[in-house]
Chains A and B, each alone.
Chain A
Amino acid sequence: EPEVTQTPSHQVTQMGQEVILRCVPISNHLYFYWYRQILGQKVEFLVSFYNNEISEKSEIFDDQFSVERPDGSNFTLKIRSTKLEDSAMYFCASMGLRNYGYTFGSGTRLTVV
């Protein structure tokens, strides 16, 4: 079964550093997303991306965050200057045209120290 692949699985970074989280969505999917889940809390929407542009973003997705699809296969989330409160699991997801729900990647656990 097709998978959404995320790397790295775990990233530890110092506060104030930039991190880039990488995702390879399912190849024929057209809609891409980033969500995050702080330990013990809800899965929260960050951003959706379609047709090479952001289609929606949440209040969490401020100027410190950006997304890119640099080469038609990878989909990246960049956090420019990490804060302690950015520590969370970050999930990439993709969806095809049929709109039957997302497929999530295995996640990147980001720890900011």
Chain B
Amino acid sequence: QKEVEQNSGPLSVPEGAIASLNCTYSDRGSQSFFWYRQYSGKSPELIMFIYSNGDKEDGRFTAQLNKASQYVSLLIRDSQPSDSATYLCAVKEGAQKLVFGQGTRLTINP
């Protein structure tokens, strides 16, 4: 199975700062990448998806993809305490299956 690696954290960021979450993947042929947010005891919630190299912005969130380096990241601007959660990187394998990373636990400090 293809691997998706994330730093498990915890990553601690002051409120209002930029949180940067990183993910690497093993399959050079991967085409579709997803970021999910998971609050403790809850289900994953889709934040963003990205298919093309470069940046994709949605509100305070920016996903960045570099296929040559097999690297995808998520930036959260103006971090809020409500952003404290575990962020899961997922890569599509084959037609439909998602392979998830371990997740990075993010804490935003007021």
Q: Write the residues of chain A forming the contact surface with B, with a CB cutoff of 8 angstroms.
A: 31, 33, 35, 41-45, 48, 50, 55-56, 89, 91, 95, 99-107
Answer whether residue B102 sits at the interface, using C-beta atoms and an 8 A cutoff.
yes
Give Cα distance in the complex from A44 to B1, angstroms: 11
Give Cα distance in the complex from A55 to B90, angstroms: 19
Answer whether residue B61 sits at the interface, using C-beta atoms and an 8 A cutoff.
no
Q: Write the residues of chain B forming the contact surface with A, with a CB cutoff of 8 angstroms.
A: 32, 34, 42-46, 49, 88, 90, 94-103
Return chain B residues, CB-CB under 8 Å to A31: 96
Given contacts A101-B49, A106-B43, 12 further A-B contacts (CB under 8 A): A41-B102, A42-B100, A42-B103, A43-B88, A43-B90, A48-B96, A48-B97, A50-B96, A100-B49, A102-B98, A106-B42, A107-B42
- Contact, CB under 8 Å: B44 / A43: yes
The 3 closest A-B pairs by CB, nearest first: A43-B100, A104-B43, A101-B46
CB < 8 Å: which of A48, A99, A102, A106 contacts B46? A102
